[in-house]
Structure 1
């Protein structure tokens, strides 16, 4: 019944038997609401060849996301030189990092950033220039705030910029500066309380 009602209500240009494409037919027959405008492109129609991108953590040296998705060709040269195997393809074949699963080792010479011939990654000279993601701390699950449990300052010991990016004060959750933090994820892996520290895309 719904299909019959839709056909009876179809636009005049279709009822006049004008030649329309398959895309135009469905757009006029079943008009879709205009999607909300966000920072990332939204897939509206398969024929548009548009791609919807979720925010990702990109390898060290990555240019701005809107430029990255145009420059990265998925050659995997950055992944080949990563000793940790931390660089993997996203669902579009472009380089990404899930540092909550496999941290970046923050290599001193940052070889991945210098391996890209397409301009998706800019060469970095030193590890302190790395800025993969933004750290988020959830104090409610931090062992330092839980009576009777001691983590042995695991996050501090794991941080490559300990006492700079990450500081510990008595009776407080880790104090991590996103201005200094590399977003490497080493503290995430070291933390004995899963979910207390996470890295999100910048």
Structure 2
């Protein structure tokens, strides 16, 4: 299972056998049942997660209403960045939407990895840059596109989410009500 993590990291940069061994020793695996809370607002993040299997929803509780911000699937890193970096209580929540297996690397283990090899520092920088680009694209889509355009993009780029994620979560992710999502789907099918 950890091999999936090593293979994914090597897409960024090749690892020597010694670096692979360091990484494998730093990782803990954890399974979550469907609907399990992985991390919740108010907690202080002390680890980075990597999705080996499953689907995780990032959401915020806004006035008692859950608002979905992102979905993480196989091969993606998860980190409550502000909390992790500045040691502050997090505002976000993470929930397993299906049975999920995560590789978890604690902050102390990450610090050890960074001391072992400069390669891990380079990988961390690339991963942060990728997360920043993803966030910028998401913001740009809300500023420049309609909900229908965002729906079409999601269908084209991550269509498998429609089979894995309850529709009301897709609706909040797109910034619409479930009823509006139904109307958008009907228009797209007819169009």
Where is the helix percentage greater, Structure 1 or Structure 2? 2
- More RCO (CA 8 Å, sep 6+): 2
Where is the strand percentage greater, Structure 1 or Structure 2? 2
Interval of TM-score (by shorter of Structure 1 and Structure 2): under 0.3
TM-score normalized with structure 2 length: 0.26
